[in-house]
């Protein structure tokens, strides 16, 4: 059973650019959630995808968008990057048919730096 993987590990972009982060969910998981973790803070929920549809979103602007593919892998896209977008981006997968508490399994994260 493979765990959650994310790519790339690190990324440096400049203001105004666009970025795409990728996540492969754990085998058998059909739900992917994305979180943003700024330095010194706890992760904040961006959005969640279930069976290729966005089914929940946190307080993030529309320039944060995502996709989920038929194999349940996912992308996070951020347009018009701002300095405050510098953060660790975490992907977590879960299964609605798993344990009663739907444990979320996290990937190692992508560290994005915006200059």
Partner 1 sequence: AQKITQTQPGMFVQEKEAVTLDCTYDTSDPSYGLFWYKQPSSGEMIFLIYQGSYDQQNATEGRYSLNFQKARKSANLVISASQLGDSAMYFCAMRGMNSGYSTLTFGKGTMLLVSP
Among 41, 77, 79, 113, binds partner 1 (CB under 8 A): 41
Buried residues in 26-36 as b, exposed as e (16+ CB within 10 A): beebbbbbbbb
Residue keyed to tokens 């996070």? 76
**Residue 28 binds partner 1, judged by CB under 8 A:** no
**Residue 107 binds partner 1, judged by CB under 8 A:** yes
Among 1, 2, 42, 62, binds partner 1 (CB under 8 A): 42
Q: Segment near partner 1 (CB under 8 A), from 22-30, 65-73, 74-82, 103-111?
A: 103-111
Whichever of 45 and 80 has its CB closer to partner 1, that residue is: 45
Buried residues in 37-50 as b, exposed as e (16+ CB within 10 A): eeeeeebeebbbbb
Inter-CA distances, 11 with 30, 55, 60, 71, 87, Å: 27, 28, 20, 25, 10
**Residue 33 binds partner 1, judged by CB under 8 A:** yes
Nearest residue to 20 via CA among 84, 69, 89: 89
Whichever of 15 and 51 has its CB closer to partner 1, that residue is: 51
Residues that bind partner 1 (CB under 8 A): 31, 33, 35, 40-45, 48, 50, 55-56, 58, 88, 90, 92, 94, 100-109, 111
């Amino acid at each position: 059973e493979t765990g959650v993987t994310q790519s790339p590990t690190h990324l440096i972009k400049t203001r105004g650019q666009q970025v795409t982060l990728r996540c492969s969910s754990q085998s058998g998981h059909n739900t992917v959630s994305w979180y943003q973790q700024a330095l010194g803070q706890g992760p904040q929920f961006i959005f969640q995808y279930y069976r290729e549809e966005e089914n929940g979103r946190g307080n993030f602007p529309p320039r944060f968008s995502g996709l989920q593919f038929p194999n349940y892998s996912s992308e996070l896209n951020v347009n018009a990057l701002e300095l405050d977008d510098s953060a660790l981006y975490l992907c977590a997968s879960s299964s609605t048919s798993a344990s009663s508490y739907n444990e979320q399994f996290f990937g190692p994260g992508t560290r994005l730096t915006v200059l």
